[in-house]
Amino acid sequence: MHVPFFDLSKEYRELNREIHGAIHDVLQSGRFILGEQGERFEQEFSSYLNTKYSVGVASGTDGLTLSLLAMGVGKGDEVITQANTFIATIVAITLTGAKPVLVDVDPNTHQIAVDQIEKAITPKTKVIIPVHLYGSPSPVHTIVPIAKKHSIQILEDACQAHGAMLKGKSVGTFGSVSVFSFYPSKNLGAYGDGGAVVTNSLSLTKKLRLLRNYGQSKKYHHDTFGVNSRLDELQAAVLRVKLKNLNKNISIRRNAVETYKQYLKKSVFPAEIKESTSVYHLFVIEHPTRDKLSEYLSQNGIDTAIHYPIPVHLQKVYSYLNYKKGDFPVSERLASRILSLPLFYGISKKQIKYVSDVINSF
Ligand SMILES: *Cc1c(COP(=O)(O)O)cnc(C)c1O
């Protein structure tokens, strides 16, 4: 049996009529940038999350960068985030000219180690970015009082966590601003790149709308700095169809993980924060001989992935930050132990049982 790591075909088969219809309508309208589809998607996405505003942008990375700029972050500032995240979180910080300041993660949850945040705060700290890693809520509610005490803002990197819940609220509603990615393999994925920033602040929303569109208050009136980073109409139309299917997608993933956990009797999984509901963008296990396990799975037709094999502080491109091996021991240890198992819309019980049997026999 071959089990792919990821597969979009089942969702497409189910939604294809509606998606083709939505794409056709956009083509017919002749309007491809900043039109009705984008506006409607923004409204629907913010009402799904229960935030006041949502601003469509060209990618999650752009969403993070523009959010930091809207919050006034730039050269001379510091932004705290975790050592085990996708590189985009750090790219966004460095693009603004600010310095990324890293902290380790919790060995049980793999989420940001909240007890290390306060030690990392300096007078230059402007923003803390907790990442809801794997689609599981980070304990952002415990960061809120720390941020308040030091007058620092929170930017949630919710790029993997559309619809995840914490203490009865959607993630993405705890920080000043939160960012979602619609990269095709994300739980809410476009057919290309896309992203959104959500917030309850009207003033940040206004800044973001200018930042994503050349700072134009009206055509060719450039009042402030801005770039070209818009969610296009075709992607917005596709996302409107897929948003209606997001809860189903989440429950398929949650059921699949339940099934994995029943079969995988001896495996170690990240713990979840109390009163939280993961949307399982990724399903991660830990194993002491991870590389041998993934090789064995591959020999048995099972594709896996690692999120992420090298923590940020050991990436060549960020060597100028002067971190060294041993600085974030938990992130380093996890990087050698974690393995993401196949998980996607339409994965069958048979496939999950097969993957689990192979792991158990290893
Ligand atoms: C996907 C992702 C991003 C970046 O999103 P893009 O849309 O690919 O730019 C940022 N942070 C995290 C944690 C992600 O998983």
- Distance separating alpha carbons of residues 238 and 244, to the nearest angstrom: 10
Please name the residues in contact with 184: beta carbons below 8 A apart, sequence gap of 6 or more. Answer: 8, 190, 191, 192
Confidence of residue 3 (pLDDT cuts 50, 70, 90): very high
Q: Looking at this protein, which amino acid is placed at residue 276?
A: S
pLDDT given for residue 108 in this prediction? 98
Q: In the Cβ-directed half-sphere of 228, how many Cα atoms lie within 13 Å?
A: 2
Tell me the H-state helices in the chain.
9-29, 36-49, 60-70, 87-95, 117-120, 144-149, 202-211, 233-244, 246-263, 290-299, 329-335, 349-361
Q: In a mutational test of the pocket of ligand 1, which residue from 181, 191, 281 has the highest number of ligand atoms less than 8 Å from its CB?
A: 181
For 330-359, what is each residue's pLDDT tens digit?
Answer: 999 999 999 999 999 999 999 999 999 999
What value does the mean pLDDT take over residues 155-162? 98
CA of 81 to the centre of ligand 1 (A): 14
Using the 8-state DSSP alphabet, how is residue 15 labeled?
H
CA torsion through residues 224, 226, 231, 233, sign: positive
Confidence of residue 285 (pLDDT cuts 50, 70, 90): very high
Bridge partners, residue 215, by sequence: none
pLDDT given for residue 31 in this prediction? 98
Confidence of residue 266 (pLDDT cuts 50, 70, 90): confident
Q: In a mutational test of the pocket of ligand 1, which residue from 6, 57, 61 has the highest number of ligand atoms less than 8 Å from its CB?
A: 61
What value does the mean pLDDT take over residues 55-68? 98
Q: Would you call 245 exposed, middle or buried from its count of C-beta atoms within 10 A (0-12, 13-18, 19+)? A: middle
What value does the mean pLDDT take over residues 256-277? 95
- Distance separating alpha carbons of residues 329 and 325, to the nearest angstrom: 8
Given the CA of residue 195, which atom of ligand 1 is nearest to it? Answer: 7
pLDDT given for residue 265 in this prediction? 84
Query: What angle, rounded to 10 degrees, do the helices at 9-29 and 36-49 form?
Result: 140
For 161-174, what is each residue's pLDDT tens digit?
Answer: 999 999 999 999 99
Number of residues that this document lists for the chain: 362
- The CA-based angle 187-175-153, given to 5 degrees, is 135
CA of 360 to the centre of ligand 1 (A): 32
- Distance separating alpha carbons of residues 331 and 225, to the nearest angstrom: 37
Least Cα distance to 254 among 360, 168, 345, 355 occurs for 345
For 129-149, what is each residue's pLDDT tens digit?
Answer: 999 999 999 999 999 999 999
Token couple for 303: 């594709």
CA of 221 to the centre of ligand 1 (A): 31
- Distance separating alpha carbons of residues 284 and 151, to the nearest angstrom: 35
Confidence of residue 175 (pLDDT cuts 50, 70, 90): very high
For 108-134, what is each residue's pLDDT tens digit?
Answer: 999 999 999 999 999 999 999 999 999
CA of 320 to the centre of ligand 1 (A): 23
CA of 102 to the centre of ligand 1 (A): 18
pLDDT given for residue 32 in this prediction? 98
Question: Is the entire prediction scored with pTM above 0.85?
Answer: yes
What value does the mean pLDDT take over residues 17-40? 98
Token couple for 56: 């469509």
For 194-249, what is each residue's pLDDT tens digit?
Answer: 999 999 999 999 999 999 999 999 999 999 999 999 999 999 999 999 999 999 99
For 287-337, what is each residue's pLDDT tens digit?
Answer: 999 999 999 999 999 999 999 999 999 999 999 999 999 999 999 999 999
